[in-house]
Structure 1
Amino acid sequence: MSSSPSTVQLWIEGARPRTLPAAVAPVLAGTGVAVHADGFVWWKALLALGVSLALQIGVNYANDYSDGVRGTDAERVGPLRLVGSGHVAPGKVKAAALGFLALGGVLGIALAATTTWWLLLVGAAAIAAAWTYTGGSNPYGYRALGEVSVFLFFGLVAVIGTAYVQTEQIDQASTAAAIGIGALACAILVANNLRDIPTDREVGKRTLAVVLGDRGSRRFYTLLIVIAAAAAVWCAVVTTWWALLAFASAPLAARAVRVIGSGATGRELIAVLRDSGLLELVYAIGLAAGLVIGSL
C-alpha cells in the first residue's frame, strides 16, 4: 500500500470515522452504569472500548470488501468505498477487515479470561455477525436483518457487556441504557439505508429500508428516537434523575427527525447520518455523566 496522502485518506475513509460513535457510545453508557453501581474498573472499560472499536472498524472494512466484490457499490451515493471505487485492491481491504476483527477477538479473550469464559461465545457470535452482515454466500444484511444485528451487538451486547465485565451483574439500568443506545445505533443504519433505497433495489440488496419503503423507513427512524428517549427515562427511574442528561441530545434528535420527515433524499440525508452519529454519542455522554454525578 502506498503511503501517499491520497491513499492514506482513502484508508481513513474506509474506516468510516463517521460511524465510530456507534463504537464509543455503548462503552460510555455501560461504564456509566458500572460507576453508578460502584463497580467501575478502568482497565476493563478500556479493553471493552478496544473491542468495540476494533469490531466496528472491522465490520466497516468487511462491508466495503463484500459489497465491493459483489458490485453493489457501483452507484453508491454516500461516502467513497475502497473496493467499489477501485482505489484499493480487494485483498488488502479483506486483510484489514480480518485484522481488526482478530484484534477485537484478542482483546475480548483478555476480558473473558478476567471475567467469565462464556463471554467467548458472545465474542465469537459478534465476530461472525460482523463478517456475515454482507459477507458469505447468504449475507443477512441483504435479508432485512441488519438492524436486528446492530441492536443486538452494538446495543444490548456492547452496553450490557461493558457493564457486566466491570460489575459482573445484569440489571435494569444496563438493560435500559442498552435499549436506548441500540435504538440510536439502529437509527444510523436506517438513515443510511433510507438514502440507498433506489440503488439497493437495483442491485437486489433487500435491506429493511427496501422492505419498509420510503415512508415506512422514515416512520421507523422516528420510532427509534422515541424508544431511545423512553429508555433514558426508564434508566433514570431505576438509578438517578441525573440520567436525564441524556436529553442533552434532544436538539440533534429534533433536527434529524425534521429532515427525515421533510422527505429529504439522496445526498440530503448525509447530514442526517452525521447528526444521528452525534446524537448517539451525546446521548451516551449525557447518560454516563448523569450516572456518574448521581453516584457521588
Structure 2
Amino acid sequence: MQPNLQHSTKPAVESNRGFQVWWQMTRPHTLTASFVPVLLGTALSLSHGRIHFGLFFAMLIASLLIQAATNMFNEYYDYKRGLDNENSIGIGGTIVRDGIKPKTVMQLALSLYGIALLIGVYICMSTSWWLALLGLVCMAVGYLYTGGPFPIAYTPFGEIFAGFFMGMLIILISFFIQTGTVTTYSILVSVPILVLVGAINFSNNIRDLDGDKENGRKTLAILLGKNKAVTLMGYMFIFSFIWILGLIITGVAPIWTLIVLLSIPKALKAIKGFKSGVTPIQMAPAMKATAQTNTIFGFLLAIGIFLGYFVS
C-alpha cells in the first residue's frame, strides 16, 4: 500500500521548495561512487601519455548523471512498491516527505539519462562507438536495479552488479577513452574499487535488512544474517587493502599507493558502527563511513598513481 501524502507532506512542500529539495533527490552522498572511478581510471592513463581533459569531464558528468538518475529510479520504484515512508532512513525523501509527484521524479531521471546519452555521443565520436553499447548496458542496469519486473536490488546479486558496473567498468571506460585500450594493469588496480563500491551497496542492505526482509527482498545481507554480513564486509575491506599491498610488492603499483592505508580508520568506524547499531538510524553513520572509505581509498589511490608517475 502506498503512503498517504495528503496530510503528511503538505507542510514540507510549502517550506522546502527550492534547490535543496531537488539536490537531495540525487542522494549526493552517493555520487562519489561515480567520481572516484573516473578519477582513478584517468590517473591510470597517465602511463600512456597526456590526459584529454574534455573527455575526462565528459565521462565524469555522464557518470554522475547516470548515478543520480539511478537514485531517482530507486526512489520512484521503492515508493510505488510501498517500501518508503516519511520515516525511512537513507532516502532522498522528495516523494514521501517533500511532496514531489512520482511522475516528476521519473521524468527528471529520464531527462538526466537523455543528457548522459548526448554526452556519450561526444565520447563515442572522440573514441569508439563500441562504447555506446557499454554505455547503454550501464544505463539499463541502473534502471533495472530497482525497476522492471525483477529488480536486481531484490536479489543477492546487487553488490556484484554495483561493484562491477559502477566501480570496475567505469574505471576501465575512463582509462579506455584516454588510451584507446584496456590493460592488465588497469584491471588489476580497479579490483579493490569493485569491492568497495559493492561494499557501499552491501552496507545499505545491512542497514535495511529487517525492512527488506519484511517486504520480500532476498538480498545477500538477508541470506547471511546481520552478524555474518558485517563479518563479510570486514573481509571486503581487508581484501582491498591487502590487494594494493600485493600490487606494490609485485611492482604493479607504485609505492606511493600505500597511502590508501590512511582510509583504514573509516573502515574500522564502519564495522564498529554496524556491530553496535541495531536500528536503521543507529547504523546510518556506519553506512556513511562505508561510502567515505571508498571515497578516501579511491582518491588516495589516484593520488598515489599520480605521484608514481610524476615523482619516479
**Deviation per CA, 1:217-257, whole angstroms, max 9, x where unpaired?**
11221122122213323443313111222222122112212
* 1:263 Cα offset (Å): 5.1
Counterpart residue number, 2:285 = 271
Structure 2 match to 1:249 = 263
In the alignment, which residue of structure 1 is the partner of 2:303?
289
Moved more, 22-31 or 216-225: 216-225
Contact 2:27–2:92 (CA<8 Å) still a contact in 1?
Answer: no
Cα distance in structure 1, aligned partners of 2:211 and 2:13: 33
Mapped to 2, the partners of 1:142 and 1:158 lie a distance apart of: 23
Partners in 1 of 2:266 and 2:278 — Cα distance?
Answer: 16
- The residue aligned with 1:97 is 109
Matches within 5 A, 1:96-175: 96-175=108-187
Give the Cα separation in 2 of the matches to 1:245 and 1:31. 19
Structure 1 residue 262 corresponds to structure 2 residue 276: yes
Q: Match for 1:195 among 186, 207, 210?
A: 207
1:41 aligns with 2:52: yes
Shift of 1:22: 0.5
SS at match of 1:238: coil
Contact 1:48 1:162 survives alignment (8 Å): yes
1:64 equivalent to 2:75? Answer yes
Question: Which of 240, 243, 260 is matched with 2:254 structurally?
Answer: 240
User: For 1:150-183, what per-residue CA distance to the aligned partner results, in whole angstroms no more than 9, with x for missing partners?
Assistant: 1111111111111111012222332123211121
Instruction: Give the paired residue count.
Output: 295
Task: For 1:222 and 1:16, locate their aligned partners in 2 and report how far apart those are by CA, in whole Å.
Answer: 25
Which structure has the bigger radius of gyration?
2
Instruction: Give the CA deviation at 1:54.
Output: 0.6
Letter in 2 for 1:17: P
Partner residue of 1:29? 40
Counterpart Cα distance in 2 of 1:87 and 1:211:
35
The structure with the largest helix share of the pair is: 1
Which structure exhibits the higher relative contact order, with contacts defined as CA atoms closer than 8 Å and separated by 6 or more residues? 1
Change in Cα spacing, 1:288 to 1:89, as seen in structure 2 (3 Å) is same
Task: Verify the 8 A CA contact 2:89 2:284 in the aligned structure 1.
Answer: no
TM-score for the superposition, normalised by structure 1: 0.92
What is the identity, as a one-letter code, of the residue corresponding to 2:194? G
Identity of aligned residues (%): 27
| TM-score, structure 2 as length reference | 0.88
Cα RMSD of the aligned pairs, angstroms, is: 2.0
Q: How far apart, in 1, do the equivalents of 2:43 and 2:284 lie?
A: 30
Q: Structure 1: 5+ residue runs without aligned partners? A: none
